[in-house]
Structure formats: structure tokens, C-alpha cells
Amino acid sequence: MPDRECRIQLPFKIKAEEIGLETGGAAVEQAVFVPAGETDPGVDGARSGPARADHFCLLGRVFPRDPAAQDIHFIIGLPLVWNGKAMQTGGGGLDGYLPSTSGIGMPADMPGETDALGRGYAVFGSDGGHTLDQTMPVACDWALNREMLENFGWKALKKVYDAAMKVLKAWYGRRPDKVYFYGGSNGGREALKILQRSPADYDGAIVLFPVIRFLVQMIAANETVRVLDRLGPDADLTAAEARRVRDTVTEILDGEDGLTDGIVSCRTPSGAQRQKIDHSLRAFLSEKQLAFLRALAADFHLPYPLNHGSGVSCGFQVLMGADPLAQILSAKHEKDNYISAVAKNMVSCFVLKDAQADPLSLDAERDKEAILEAADIIQADDPNLDAWFAKGGKMILIQGNMDVLVPMNSTIRYVEELEKRYGPELKEHLAFYLVPGYGHGDGPFKMYTPLMRYLEDWVEKGIRPGMMQATDVAPASFGRTRPLYEYPYVPVYKGSGDPNSAENFTAGKLTD
């Protein structure tokens, strides 16, 4: 069948001068027809899902200038029926894997919906310029190579974008009319970083729980190890105690939205609530354990600002109802704990430039220049989006208040920095939603809303998102709906009607 024939000659070579940053060129080396229901080749099975549309999957590489650097492996999904648009997807964690072209823009457990590929988008992404063992993807020794570190920071995104544009033109006969970016967690950081560094390339972006201050956040995680060491083993909490903290705090803070349903809707507890939380936790925790939790909840400050940011890592919501166990295990340097391992390895390799270095040997003053240099590459907290806004760029930004990996105040403070810079004009380019009960893609309210449709309407029709409706896809509460209001508003129950239906909620201002 003609639609199932490869439209380019392999290997499809791209010259170095056709890529906007220095490379050794690029090539597409494999093209595989993937029918709906099958999975993309070359993608980690745990990260891949069945395709929702017939498509060609193209696999290729961007070659480095430094012979000691690894290739950037990229993947492009090309639908048989193209809508004339493209979606670049970010990675996650420390990258190091090929993302699937399927599943972008929707959870696997949402029936009756389709993803970007199913909507006719050409979808592309990469491994960030290095390959990791996905059973425990925390190694950072690749970052000792400057080109590979910069690729992870943002340059792989630009190099793969340029390569993908050449492929799309050869395959479909023209470049896409619109290009969007979709990313969460580190992929959300990547979205912000590439909009800051290469703004002309993108028309819109969907950004979910971005690790905006990735490097400083990992330095802060490293510092909590010192806190626990100083307090001693009596400050440690068991898993059962951590869960009891979560449940106790949730019970005290629940009800701000008019319902007692396990969803906390305030940003910070009131003075009276803080006193009640403190009193309730003292019933089963020691003073040292409370001091440890307060340290996890406190902001961390470098003793100087960064070149393009504040040098602050915001505290975690461990006294807001979020599960504190992940951060507790990190501070204990628990064996095989992901956060702990990432923090140790990032500090050793990104800053100290020695994979064997003791991360606790980091001295913020002595290592200031190394921290500033690494932060320029990694951090995405530069509020200067002038060029992208001048282009007319639009962004939908989502953050959950129960995120145990990305502090919600990190995202809120970045938005506040944007508000200071742009004032009322910001509304023309940013729609920000703080979602009660939502975590790092999970949580007591595991939300789904068709973000791609809202973004398309905004970019292509001038219809700003405003209030959106979200569906909870958590197994225990699947199908309940809530309105999503722009920050600082949250849904508040009207007092009557089905509490599982969005129509029975109205907008209430988030309490501080």
C-alpha cells in the first residue's frame, strides 16, 4: 500500500550546517511502519504504550562534535494522516531513554480520548544525548563531558528540532504550520528552557509540574542529608509514621473547599491550623522528628543569587498533606532511593566534576563559580520570555499542590516573577493552574483535561482557556469531575448537588 511505503531514502542525512548548533550532522537510519495497537521500536517497554494511530516510526541520531560525546538518539512519529502540526516532547528524570511517540497529551487510562499522534500530529523527542540503564537511571558520569551536559541542559532539544524539521519537509513536502512543546517534570524544565533559548521555534507549550530549579533543588536535597546527620538517628521517621503525618495533616486541612474528601485546597495553613498540626503531630513524633519535617518544608537558599535566578529551592509540602516518605528516604540516602541518588550524582558530576567525589564535600562559597556555571546550563528560572511573547507564544502551566517531587511554591514563585516582569500582559501568554489534590502525575485527584485542545484553541483561534474541566482518573475515584480555575482560584463546593460533578462547584480564592 502506498501509505505504508517509506517516503525518504535511508539513511536520510542532514548536514551539520543545517542544524543551528554545532554538531557532526544527523541521520535517520530506520523507518518502521507501526499499526495502531503496536508499540514503537527502540523505546523502553515500561515507557511505551500501544499506538492509537497507524504511523511511521523513524529512528535517528545527531552526531557530536566531540568524539568522546555520545550521539543524541531521536525518534519521530509520522501519522499517515497529518494535520500539518508537530509536537516535541520532553523527557523525564535525567532523560537517557527514547520517549514513545504514543500517549502524548493523555493518560493511558482515559477511555474515549486520543493522543497527539492520534490527532494527526507529527511527534518527536530524544534521549537528551545520553543513554541510561532504565532499571535505575541515576548515573551522571556522562555530565563530565561538557557537550553532553549542555545537550541535557537544552541543546539536544534544539538540535533534534532542527533535524526533525528537515525530516518533516522531506516526508510531507513542507514544514509544519504550528509547532508545540509538551513536557512534564524534567520535560517541563526543558520546555521552559527551550522557550528561553530558542523562542522562534514554538507557537505554544503545555508545561506540567516543571523542575524549574533542578540543580539547586538537588543541592537542597543534598543538604537535608546534613540536617538528618546533625539531628541524629532519632529524627528519622518510619514509613508508617510518614503516612500518619500525611493523614493527620490532610484531616486538619481538608474542608477548605466545602467538602471533606481528602483534597486539600489551601496554599499554606492558617495560624490556627499550624497550631493544630503541631499539637497533633506531637502526639506521635519527637521534637527531633518534627525538626526534620520542618527542615524538609523550609526553603533552601544559596548565599548568592544565580545569574538568571534567585538561588532558592522552595520547601516541600510535607506539612500540607503531601506524602513525606520520598523526601525522608532521600535524606536518609536510603539504598536505591531515586531522589537521593540523583541528588548525589548531580552534585558530584554537574558541580564537583568528579563522579567519585563526596557530594557532602560541596561548599557553596568555595564552589560558587562551578554552581553558577552548571545553573546557567540546567536551571530554567530565567523570567525573560520577551522574544517568545513577542512572537505570540502561549503556555498552559499546570502544578499540583500535592506534588512530592516538585515544590508547588517553586512554580508559583516563577509565575510571580513573570507577573513582576510583564504585569497584565502576562495573561495574553500564560494560563497557570494550581490543581488541588494533584501530585506528580498522581495524587488523590489525578487529573486529566484535554490540554492540547485548549492550547490549540488559544493559539489558533484566539480562545483563551479560562476555566477548564478536569476528570479524576485515579482508580478509587475515577470519573469525578472538577473545574480548574486559574491561580489563585480553586474549586469550592456550592453546598448542594453531586459533589463528584464539576457543575456543583464555583471559584474560590486560594487561602494563604
Q: Grid coordinates representing 488? A: 489563585
Q: Residue 313 belongs to what H/E stretch?
A: strand 312-313
What does the DSSP 8-state code read for residue 100? Answer: P
**Over 80: is that where the pLDDT of 451 sits?**
yes
176: left (phi over 0), alpha (psi -120 to 50) or beta: beta
Q: What is the mean pLDDT of residues 48-53?
A: 81
Tell me how far apart the alpha carbons of residues 194 and 201 are, in angstroms, rounded to a whole number: 9
447 neighbors 474 (Cβ within 8 angstroms): no
Q: How many other C-beta atoms can be found within 10 angstroms of the C-beta atom of residue 361? A: 12
Residue 1 has a pLDDT of 44
Q: Where are the beta strands (DSSP E) in 214-260?
A: none
Going by C-beta distance under 8 Å and a sequence separation of 6 or more, which residues neighbour residue 168?
76, 78, 86, 122, 174, 175, 176
Q: What is the mean pLDDT of residues 423-440?
A: 97
473 neighbors 107 (Cβ within 8 angstroms): yes
Residue 196 has a pLDDT of 98
Helix (H, G, I), strand (E, B) or coil at 13: strand
pLDDT tier, 341 (very low <50, low <70, confident <90, very high otherwise): confident
Residue 266 has a pLDDT of 82
Residue 325 has a pLDDT of 86
Q: Residue 346 belongs to what H/E stretch?
A: helix 338-346
Tell me how far apart the alpha carbons of residues 208 and 228 are, in angstroms, rounded to a whole number: 31
| CA 205 to each of CA 157, 159, 365, 398, 405: distance values in angstroms, whole numbers, following the listed order | 14, 18, 37, 11, 21
- Comparing 46-50, 329-333, 400-404, 439-443, the range with the smallest average pLDDT is 46-50
Residue 49 has a pLDDT of 75
Q: pLDDT tens for residues 373-388?
A: 999 999 999 999 999 9
- Comparing 123-127, 389-393, 444-448, the range with the smallest average pLDDT is 444-448
Q: What is the mean pLDDT of residues 347-375?
A: 97
**Over 80: is that where the pLDDT of 485 sits?**
yes
pTM of the model: 0.96
Q: Which domains does the chain have, with CATH numbers?
A: 1-176 (no CATH), 182-212+380-461 (3.40.50.1820), 216-237+285-378 (no CATH)
Provide, rounded to the nearest whole percent, the portion of the chain with pLDDT above 70: 96
pLDDT tier, 52 (very low <50, low <70, confident <90, very high otherwise): confident
Residue 463 has a pLDDT of 98
